[in-house]
Amino acid sequence: MSSETPVIDVRNVSKMYELYARPQDRLRQMLVPGGKKLYREHWALRDVSFTVSPGESFGIIGKNGAGKSTLLQILAGVLEPTGGEAILPERTTALLELGSGFKPEFTGRQNVFVNAAVLGIPRAEALARMDDIAAFADIGPHFDQPVRTYSSGMFLRLAFAVTTSLTPDVLIIDEALAVGDVFFRQKCYKRLEGLLAQGTVVVLVSHAMNDVAQFCRRGLLLEHGRVGYLGDAAAAVKRYMVGGGDYVPTSLGDASRNLDLPPEGQDGDGWPAQDAFLDLSGAAVAENDWAGCTHVAVCDASGQPCRSFEQGETVSIFCRYAVRHDLEVAVAGVELINDKRVIVFGKNTLQFDCDHALATPNGTVLRARFDLKLDLAPGEYTFNLGFSALSVSDFERRASLSHEELEGRTTVISIVTRAGDFLVTFRSRDTTPVQLTHHGVANLPGQATLRLYGGESAP
């Protein structure tokens, strides 16, 4: 298959379900097909189209009820669409739920042959890969026991080992990796990277947004059964996040109009010169009409435009937001992303514990500045910017709220993905103690001791 030919080709796929008020109405409808409609139409999908190329990792996200499960079942061949078509290769396999496609009374080894047969793989080829499957699953003697005796973790290990070792053309994964421990998840993602290199398409559906943003190249955001966004996976995740949360903006009243706010640019806040600001035309912006990002700059410690920093130097990231709706407590944040799409740092003004205004009226401007010491590995980095809001009552009790509770009460208003980039380089020579400050993605505060003792006895 050439690289120009898509492996997955979904064309205007729609799916309609007939919802009946009473079970007997379904039978009456079958008996009188041309009569009055006794059901209500529910369109789970409407005109969904996309393609996926060989070796591409593709994410599908959306809120509950957006149509993700219906689309996955159509891709897996479990459901037929009401309209349109989904074209996939024969060697398509899916991990939609643990144990699906396994015969409970068969052993793990026997189920390998069953799954190979479903994929059209000869028994001899499956036998040749048996040792690799057993080693990856790593379930010991249970491999030759009936799978009905397996735990959920053992199911996952075997299912993932089988589907990836038999090298399908398309592998669909729906939340399955959430069951495994961190070591197995690392092992799985390494295997998936190997499959992608061989041309396999991996479709990942997960509520773990960081997994989708970091693993997938492109993403599909479903909204009420329709395509809400199709493109860069990280941008799809950001669009998913905008508008979430429980905060509802309300009028702050006339008192907020009389706030003693300094005119913009007259309080000596070290705002950079006009020529320091970046061109945001290439950034992926997701925001509602409550506020918008208008300016972004990357500077060195002296406030001059800079895009290259040595390890340990400080980058200053400036951003400006125009507020278009009365908000209570406004919060700004920044994320740094490395060239492997890993979020190496993310922090907002709540976590920095800086001063926050308790009222952010319509028509005001919010300026944020982040000074970050770049204790990072040498390499290229991009950054994302976020703007959100929460109520005064939630802000005042933020320390007593769990992370999940605070996140649920915070509404994301604007996210700018790939707002800018910069380079981190090795430090200059003749540095103390050595040129490279640390190995790995980020430096951690800490200390080490090294002592020498005489004699050969051990404690």
pLDDT in tens, the chain (459 residues): 445 689 999 999 999 988 887 887 777 777 777 777 877 788 999 999 999 999 999 999 998 889 998 999 999 888 999 999 999 998 898 887 655 568 888 999 998 898 888 778 888 988 998 999 999 888 899 999 998 898 878 888 888 888 888 888 999 988 766 556 677 888 888 889 999 999 999 999 888 888 888 889 999 999 999 999 999 898 888 888 885 555 666 666 655 555 667 777 665 668 998 889 999 988 888 888 899 999 999 999 888 999 999 999 999 999 999 999 999 999 999 999 998 888 899 999 999 999 999 999 999 999 999 999 999 999 999 999 999 999 999 999 999 999 989 988 899 999 998 899 999 999 987 888 899 999 989 899 899 999 998 876 665
Helix (H/G/I), strand (E/B), else coil: 306: coil
End-to-end alpha carbon distance in the chain: 63
Specify the amino acid at residue 61: I
**Which two three-digit tokens encode residue 257?**
């109009």
Distance between CA atoms of 105 and 100, rounded to whole angstroms? 13
Q: Do residues 169 and 92 make contact, with C-beta atoms less than 8 angstroms apart?
A: yes
| Positions of CATH 3.40.50.300 in the chain | 8-238
What are the angstrom distances between the C-alpha of 421 and each of 218, 247, 278, 282, 424? Answer: 20, 32, 10, 12, 10
How far, in Å, CA of 170 to CA of 422, rounded? 36
Angle at 414 between CA 409 and CA 420, to 5 degrees: 130
Please give the CATH topology (third level) of the domain spanning 245-254+272-425.
Coagulation Factor XIII; Chain A, domain 1 (2.70.50)
Element (H, E) at 115: helix 108-118
DSSP 8-state secondary structure symbol assigned to residue 143: G
Q: Does domain 8-238 have CATH number 3.50.50.60?
A: no
Q: Where in the chain is the domain with CATH 2.70.50.60?
A: 245-254+272-425
Is 321 in a helix, a strand, or coil?
A: strand
Helices (H), 32-167: 68-75, 108-118, 123-128, 130-137, 152-165
| Burial letters 306-322, b for 16+ CB under 10 A, else e | beebbbebebbbbbbbe
In this structure, are residues 350 and 389 in contact, taking their beta carbons and an 8 Å threshold?
no
Q: Does the N-terminal peptide bond of residue 23 adopt cis geometry, omega within 30 degrees of 0?
A: no
Tokens 């960081």 locate to: 210
For residue 274, how far is the Cα from the chain centroid?
34
